[in-house]
Structure 1
Amino acid sequence: MTAVPSQGLDVSSYWPGRYRGRVVLVTGAAGGLGGAAVERLRAENAVVVATDRVGADQELDVTSEEQWERVCAQVLAEHGRIDGLLLAHGAQGPEVPVEEVDPADWRRTLSINLDSCFLGLRAVLPSMKRAGYGRVVALSSISGREGNASMTAYSTSKAGVIALVKAAAKESASQGVCINAVAPSMFQTPLLQHLSAERNAELLSRVPAGRIGQPAEFAALAAWLLSEECSYTTGQVLDLSGGRYSGS
């Protein structure tokens, strides 16, 4: 797979102090995108509660309602607030034609990618609304906007995230809470390892920029969406696909 090198982003592009006093809960923090976001947020002085099933500061199974309630209660007890929520977890799901998808794999993919975001919003939004302030960013995908052949469970789950974000944003906009989604295309994360070389090459061929996105580029966008500066943008799906998506 050939990719055009990225210039990337270095620490000089950070805004030290932007998040001072703010508490941000991040899921998928041990992953490529979530990990990069945690690094950036901490560099900008956020108090970050980094969660994942393994490899993060705090264990969180995002498919468990009980664990969501426990983690949020702990954060509120320790810090008194949750200002931001970054839902950066996800699972690739089966890569086969729709008629070959095992129903158990279908349910698992939707549970990890979609149901978990509902549970996260349900756990976090009450405290944000009481505070009159909150920022939520959910990781969707370009496949949720366009659909990817042989990735029906993944595409459907990510399309569901988009609808969830749009609906919840309309409910929360008058209470100081902004909720948005990010739709990446190919990014340099472990998820690419679950696809064949041929599949990776085919997906890359659809990206006009001609290269794979870097986690620091996701972190830069997420850092703005989770900040106070994002005050009048809500219910949106922000493209991060190197020009792949051209729809409305």
Structure 2
Amino acid sequence: MDDRTLAPLPDFSPWPGRFAQRVVLVTGASGGLGSAAVERLRREGAVVVATDVVAPVGEPGDDGLSQGLDVTDPGQWSQVLEGILGRFGRLDGALFCHGLQGPETPVDQMPRDGWNRTLEINLTGCLHGLQAVLPVMREAGYGRIAMLASIAGREGNPNMAAYSVSKAGLIALGKTAAKENARHGISINCVAPSMFQTPLLAALSPERNAELLSRVPMGRVGDPTEFAALAAWLLSSEASYMTGQTLDLSGGRNSA
């Protein structure tokens, strides 16, 4: 598609003070979408606890924390939560932004270890996270949780079975947890992006990238700041009547 036909990307100005005195945990904080969300949340006044397998590099003067977290290890989740409560005494929001592409192969050629590893990180890692943060939020009577799903979880991308299944399971997990906690002041939602400019996209073959882009009516790849803007709203107090939903962030791509 001719780039001259594409609408320009708007300026995403932060809302100063929207997250004042709020503490938000972010996983996958070193990734393209996670790091953009961390930056946005910090600019809006949040104390961000940024985590990844290797602790992200903190910003100078940042009041939050940067910690290593293997999302597949429930013990590490417990340690992170203990550290948050010990230092800040509260946890207001959580953004689960970690993820693994997984094998790019037909179903009948799917390696078992690749299948298991993808589901362990993308799906079970979020289960461990919910089990860690929900009791804290229920006790406080408030919480906002957003989880990174994918349009692949809605429709199932060919040659991406492990990834698609992990994200479909995450959508179901989010809906279930949202219904269980709706009366406790906690909202839980998923975001289902299509193509975004991240390292995960670079892991796909050129043929796969071209095929996926052909299905996006806007004709372009999403920018991480666009994800950050939506994630910030879902993590804010304004998302008070939105729970159990999966919001497509796909440039107009519809499930088929």
Normalising by structure 2, report the TM-score: 0.93
Q: Which amino acid is the alignment partner of residue 164 of structure 1? A: L
Cα separation, 2, equivalents of 1:2 and 1:91? 31
Distance 1:58 1:245 in 2: 37
Q: For residue 98 of structure 1, what is the aligned residue in structure 2?
A: 107
Q: 1:5 to 1:189 in 2, by over 3 A?
A: farther
The one-letter code of the counterpart of 2:204 is L
2:197 pairs with one of 184, 188, 196: 188
Contact conserved, 2:155 with 2:255, CA < 8 A, in 1? Answer: no
Q: How does 1:54-65 map to 2 (within 5 A)?
A: 54-56=54-56, 57-65=66-74
Alignment match of 1:165 (pick from 174, 186, 189):
174
Residue-by-residue CA offset, 1:52-100 (whole Å, 9 max, x unaligned): 0125121001111110010011001100011000000100000000011
Give the conservation status (yes or no) of the 8 Å contact 1:8–1:216: no
1:129 is matched with which residue?
138
- Structure 1 pair 125–8 and aligned structure 2 pair: CA distance change class (3 A): same
Distance 2:10 2:146 in 1: 20
- Residue 19 (structure 1) aligns with: 19
Task: Quickly say closer, same or farther: Cα 1:190–1:2, change in 2 above 3 A.
Answer: farther
Report if aligned partners of 2:216, 2:251 keep a CA contact under 8 Å in 1: yes
Tell me, in whole angstroms, the C-alpha distance in 1 between the residues paired with 2:51 and 2:9: 25
1:86-235 correspondence to structure 2 within 5 Å: 86-235=95-244
Partner AA of 1:106 in structure 2? W
Deviations 1:95-125 (A, max 9, x none): 0000111111100000010000000000000
1:31 aligns with 2:26: no
C-alpha contact 1:9 1:216 (8 A) present in aligned 2: no
User: 1:25: how far off?
Assistant: 0.1
Moved over 2 A (4+): 1-11
Checking the alignment, whether the CA contact within 8 Å between 2:154 and 2:255 is kept in structure 1 is: no
Q: Percent identity?
A: 64
Alpha-carbon distance in structure 2 between the residues aligned to 1:32 and 1:207: 20
Contact kept, 8 Å, 1:6 with 1:214, in 2: the verdict is: no
Do the aligned residues in 2 keep the contact of 1:9 with 1:217 (CA within 8 Å)? no
Aligned to 1:7: 8
Change in CA separation of 1:127 and 1:41 when aligned onto 2, cut-off 3 Å: same
Q: Secondary structure at the match of 2:147?
A: strand
Deviation of the 1:193 alpha carbon: 1.3
Could you tell me whether the CA contact under 8 Å between 2:55 and 2:69 is conserved in 1?
no
Alignment check: 8 A CA contact 1:33 1:218 kept: yes
TM-score by length of 1: 0.96
Distance in 2 (alpha carbons) for counterparts of 1:110 and 1:29? 19
Number of residue pairs aligned between Structure 1 and Structure 2: 246
Compute the RMSD of aligned alpha carbons. Answer: 1.4
Distance 2:81 2:234 in 1: 21
> AA paired with 1:181?
C
Is the contact made by 1:148 and 1:155 (CA closer than 8 Å) also made in structure 2?
yes
Q: Cα offset for 1:132?
A: 0.3
